[in-house]
Amino acid sequence: MKLNNKTVWITGASSGIGKSLAIALSTYDCKLILSARRTSELEKVKQLCHNPELVYVLPLDLAETDAMQEIANEAISAFGTIDILVNNGGISQRSPIIETSIAVDRKLMEVDYLGTVAISKALLPHFVAQQSGHFVVVSSLMGKFSSHYRSAYCGAKHALHGFFDALRLEHDKDHVKVTFICPGFVNTNVARNALTADGSKQEYQDEMTENGLDVDVFVKKMITAIQKEKYEAYIGKFERFGVLLKRLSPKLVHKFVLRSKVR
């Protein structure tokens, strides 16, 4: 796939991976639709893009699933078509299962899973009608194997794989593509914004995230995976090998993660 002049809709575009991706894609002269909750931050990202006149700001809250069809209609009307939806928006979690309120589990499923499903289902008829389209789903290595203190996050990411694998099967005949991007540790604010046991933000960076891939390096690898229309791309440092370990031996990956220093 050539990305030049494509129309790309990015959720979670106000910071981190979404922000870096928007700036990088703007150099391909893509038409961009940027979504997140904070309009003011989206406007700042727009001004950092190569051609800000080709950027449309469309605020949304992934927790408000009933609004997704109306928002998708506006996204389509912005440039007349959408070629790629990058489902990047979401939140993480850092808390032990035994201490975590069920409200936190519910919040993660509402935002990371149901919000992503709702926006994708709202856009799917457009992809089918034009007989082309590409869902890029920013999952996580935690969507392939689990780790401490991320139970709700892991559950939501695993659920995304189940849903979009089914979507890929059902709409292969419609030339609809699905690419999972599975990051390991990337140096963004994801840990600071992660929910703790009572639903409050963690507010501090953890060591593994701090030492993760630079976000711009990550995005370059992500763009390559999108261009190649990969089914799944595992992007990280040593932690990405956990996927292979899980295939070889679930018990082995259990021991590997158990000994790792994560919090």
Catalytic residues: 153
Give Dmax (Cα) for the chain: 52
How far, in Å, are 5, 60, 65, 78, 219 from residue 23 at the CA level? 14, 20, 27, 19, 10
| Torsion sign, CA atoms 229, 113, 257, 214 | positive
Residues 6 or more apart whose CB falls under 8 angstroms from that of 173 comprise none
Chain position carrying tokens 């809250």: 61
Backbone angles phi, psi at 179, to 5 degrees: -125, 125
**Which amino acid, 243?**
V
Contact assessment for residue 35 and residue 22, using Cβ atoms and an 8 Å cutoff: no
**In sequence order, what DSSP letters do the residues of 175-186 get, joined into one string?**
TEEEEEEEE--B
Decide: 61 and 164 in contact? Cβ < 8 Å: no
Q: How far apart are CA 4 and CA 26, in angstroms?
A: 9
One-letter amino acid of 255: K
Query: Nearest-CA neighbor of 176 among 222, 136, 141?
Result: 136
* C-beta neighbour count of 209 within 10 angstroms: 20
How far does CA 60 lie from the centroid of its chain?
Answer: 15
